[in-house]
Amino acid sequence: MSYPILPRVVPACALRDDWSLSPVDPLRRTELDDGNFAVERRLHRLPGRQTLSWRMTGPQFDVLVAFWKRDLDGGVAWFQCPIVEGSRTELRLVRFSASPPWTGTSPANGIFRFSFEAELREIPHLNDDELMATIVSIDAATPAELDGLIQQLTTVVDDLEGLILWS
């Protein structure tokens, strides 16, 4: 199934000044008679909510409102939107989640701000390779140390590939 994509005339990334991300609790907790809690998973995905806002011109604002009304059926449909995920920006499936669905303000003449709370189908997270690369880059204090770590990892991978070929 293909999903609508945020129109290209809208700024590529939402503003970071109002950035917030809230995970939805995937667990159901029930208090038992003995004072303990029974815990069960009610959601398999880890959905979340993120506040998004853009600063734009009047024509860009008009296009975004038309996209919301026409392509998203008044905010009911899911759509692809660039989402800030800490150190990167990725296209994620979102939809409007609050009432009112969005707010529009004009902080200066000719400038408009479009804001809404987005429901994310799944909270952003790093895959295993991205997690390892991020940890390595955080631990490396200098580019030379990072090059050394990359060389060590390359050697380990080459050794493992050699073992697999010989077995």
Task: Give the tens place of pLDDT for each residue, 44-102.
Answer: 667 788 888 889 999 999 999 999 999 999 989 999 988 877 777 788 889 998 888 99
Q: How does residue 141 score in pLDDT terms, banded at 50, 70 and 90?
A: low
pLDDT the model gives residue 77: 93
Q: How does residue 136 score in pLDDT terms, banded at 50, 70 and 90?
A: confident
Q: How does residue 42 score in pLDDT terms, banded at 50, 70 and 90?
A: confident
pLDDT the model gives residue 131: 78
| Average pLDDT rounded to a whole number, residues 3-21 | 80
Q: Is the pTM of this model over 0.75?
A: no
SS3 track for the chain: CCCCECCCCCCCCCCCCCCEEEECCCEEEEECCCCCEEEEECCCCCCEEEEEEEEEEHHHHHHHHHHHHHHCCCCCCCEEEEEECCCCEEEEEEEECCCCCCEEEEEECCEEEEEEEEEECCCCCCCHHHHHHHHHHHHCCCHHHHHHHHHHHHHHHHHHHHHHHHC
| Average pLDDT rounded to a whole number, residues 131-152 | 75
Position of tokens 């952003």? 124
pLDDT the model gives residue 28: 79
Whole-angstrom distance, CA of residue 162 vs CA of residue 146 = 24
